[in-house]
Structure 1
Amino acid sequence: MNNHEIDYEIFGDDMQFVQVELDPQETVVAEAGSLMMMDDGIHMETVFGDGSNQGSGLMGKLMGAGKRMLTGESLFMTTFTNEGSGKKHVSFASPYPGKIIPMDLSELGGKLICQKDAFLAAAKGVSVGIAFQRKLGAGFFGGEGFIMQKLEGDGMTFVHAGGTIHKKTLAPGEVVRIDTGCLVAMTSDINYDIEMVKGVKTALFGGEGLFFATLRGPGTVWIQSLPFSRLASRVFAAMPASGGSKDEGGIGGLFNILGGDR
């Protein structure tokens, strides 16, 4: 096994966090800003790139950092190493309501394709790269569909997704079409493409995106019910157009009506 072998436990329901147990000298790598808490004796260090190529020289580090920049992530990641004598724990929290999905890459063929913002943490040695979609034109206009993250290795990795998570296994030749934002992750043996919604009226007035992902089995796919982009758009739509708060018929709104502009 090339990756560090870590134990873990997931706590919570809708706002989950994962607690990773580290033996002496074991290391876990995580996205910057995902730390929740850690025991005394754990050394935290910021690394350039994904942390899996720190011994490959300057060019290897630049390549790893460049891949992360293309996916819209930070150029840096953070490693947490147990430098004590006994077992230590470090915890990472979800960035928004949803679920943390533990993935053992050794059981998934050593490779997983996921949304560019889905990666949360992994055992040291897991490589975080990019997976290009073949049709560049459709990928550019498809938003989430163009560049996805590629996680490679044989250790544990933790992926976060919004809302309820549905795991679907596709038989050979079976096809499913998914909103590009709802696609969380898939195994590398799935044939993946992006298609534009047919029909001008459907595309403009249907209330859905202009593109959807077409996945053909065999393989496994993970789907989220609440993409962060959808959550953010609903929050933005509910914000008042001008300064101040938007009253929705509560006591504050009643006082404003009775008191007038005083």
Structure 2
Amino acid sequence: MQKNHKITVVTVCYNSVSEIEKTILSVLSQNYQSMEYIVIDGGSTDGTVDIIKKYSDRIAYWVSEPDGGIYYAMNKAVEHATGDYVNFMNAGDLFFDDNVLSAVFEGKKYVDDVLYGYHILHFKGGYKPHYPSDPNVLNQGMMPFCHQSMFTKTCLLKEQPYDTEFRVFADYVYYRWLFNSGHTFRCVNKFVSVFSVDGVSASMSLAVYYEMCRVHGWKPKLSHFFTLYRKNMWRKVRYCRLKIFVKSLFRPDKYNVNLKRFKQIED
């Protein structure tokens, strides 16, 4: 009988008391049996740790202590991972439904280094599905998928951790390196995650812009920064609740104020 892949799901968080429980429940509600859960907290002081302790008997490993940021915490989690693949479902992120891991892994045997699926973008006004691009766009300055919807071989993450010198774009740098090193990627044709566009990587501060320039080899220009800043702010306006509601009347498969209106993709 074929043995299913063991999956390590990781949540990193810091002062996320308003969001951490829904993420924990989303992970623990998965009906896939071969899964372990790791939670790395950055030393929260707002009650986040109390919520983690509430579910500690179902968490394989957790710790709360100051660290060097998101990617530092993700690397720390991988040190304790024993699964074949790792997924990062951080505070505020959700699996699409309770059957995601089963839909992707039950009865399947993968040899690919990176598996990636689809995700649902959560704007303040509602939801919009996003379908990944081909991995070759990594060399065009674009991230074709999100880490919430990816499963990366644990052995790769242990051998080559995220570069913590990058505080926002370390995942992009990492997967661009994997792609250009000849590692294999496979789309699993399933909705995997739901995540908010208001996260750290979705903001456009000068610090984020300078890191972006470093990653892509651009020369920083104030005019370029303001162009990206306006584009980022306009995106938030474009997907206000009224607009998504109106669009959902005509394209409910593409826009909706209710997440449950979206259905999983069948094989």
Output the TM-score relative to the length of structure 2. Answer: 0.29
Higher relative contact order (CA 8 A, sep 6+): 2
Output the TM-score relative to the length of structure 1. Answer: 0.29
Which structure has the larger Rg over C-alpha atoms?
Answer: 1
